[in-house]
Amino acid sequence: MKSAEKLSSIRTRVPFQVGRRSDIPAEMLSFTDLNSDKEHVALVFKNADSQQTTPLVRIHSECLTGDVFGSSRCDCGEQLNEAIEKMAEQGGIILYMRQEGRGIGLYNKLDAYELQIKGVDTYSANNQLGFDDDLRDFSEAAQMLKAMGVSELKLLSNNPKKQAALEQNGIAVKELQSTGVYRKVDNHYYLETKASRGKHRLKLTKDMQPS
Ligand SMILES: Nc1nc2c(ncn2[C@@H]2O[C@H](COP(=O)(O)OP(=O)(O)OP(=O)(O)O)[C@@H](O)[C@H]2O)c(=O)[nH]1
Ligand SMILES: [Zn+2]
C-alpha cells in the first residue's frame, strides 16, 4: 500500500445538479498532484468538506457497466444512487475513483465477465487473466480527503479494506455504514463471492428476490 505522503490540492470546483432528476445540488472537484495520473473526482454535497467535521463519505470505484448502464451483473449503480440520495439529505462526499474493474480496466473486466459466464467466480476470473483479486490502491482517496481538509469521516461501504486503507493513510474512520444489498437477476453469485472471498460485510439471505 502506497502512503499518501504527496500533498495534493483542489484544482477546480464546479457546481451542478445531479441525480436521476438532475435536481440535487452538488459540486465536482478535481485535484492536482495525485499519486497517479488517473482523473479521480470528488462530488461534494452541502459543502460537507467545509461545513461538517465528520462527513459521510463513499469511495466509489468506477463501473461503466453498472453506473452508466445499470448492468444486472453487479450492484454499483444502485450503490451510487443510494449515496447520492443519502447525501442530498445529509450532505457528504463521493470520491469517484477511476478504478474500473477493481483496477484492471474495462476491457479486462469484460474478459473476466466472459470467464464468469463459463462459471468462474469474480476473483478467480481476475486470477485466470493474470491479475490479483483486487488491484485498487486507495491512498489517493486519502490524498483527496486531505486536500479537502477532511481528517475524519463516516464511511459508506461494505468493504473493510477501504476503512483499513484510509486509516493507514491518516484518515480516521469513526463509523462504517453498510450500503443496501441490491439483488438482481444474475448478481447473486457475485454478491456471495464478495462476502465469502472478498470479506465484504454483506447480509445475504437465500430467499432474497431480485429487485
Ligand atoms: N475485475 C472485476 N471487477 C468488477 C467485477 N464486478 C464489478 N467490478 C468492479 O468492482 C468495482 C467495485 O468494487 P466491489 O468489489 O463491487 O465493491 P467495493 O467498492 O470494494 O465495496 P463497497 O464499498 O461495499 O461497494 C468497480 O470498479 C467495478 O467495475 C468483476 O466481476 N470483475
Ligand atoms: Zn459494477
Question: Tens-digit pLDDT profile for the chain (211 aa)?
Answer: 455 477 999 999 999 999 989 999 999 999 999 999 999 999 999 999 999 999 999 999 999 999 999 999 999 999 999 999 999 999 999 999 999 999 999 999 999 999 999 999 999 999 999 999 999 999 999 999 999 999 999 999 999 999 999 999 999 999 999 998 888 777 777 788 877 777 788 776 655 554 4
The three cell numbers locating residue 192: 456471495
Q: Angle at which helices 139-147 and 160-168 pack, to 10 degrees?
A: 60
Report how far residue 71's alpha carbon sits from residue 187's, in angstroms, rounded to the nearest whole number: 9
Tell me: ipTM over 0.95: yes
Report, at the CATH architecture level, how domain 9-99+136-196 is classified. Answer: 3-Layer(aba) Sandwich (3.40)
- pTM summary value: 0.92
The three cell numbers locating residue 107: 476491457
71 lines ligand 1 (CB under 6 A): no
61 lines ligand 1 (CB under 6 A): yes
Domain range list for the chain: 9-99+136-196
Report how far residue 158's alpha carbon sits from residue 19's, in angstroms, rounded to the nearest whole number: 22
Q: Of residues 67, 75, 121, 136, which has the active-site annotation?
A: 136
The letter for the amino acid at 111 is D
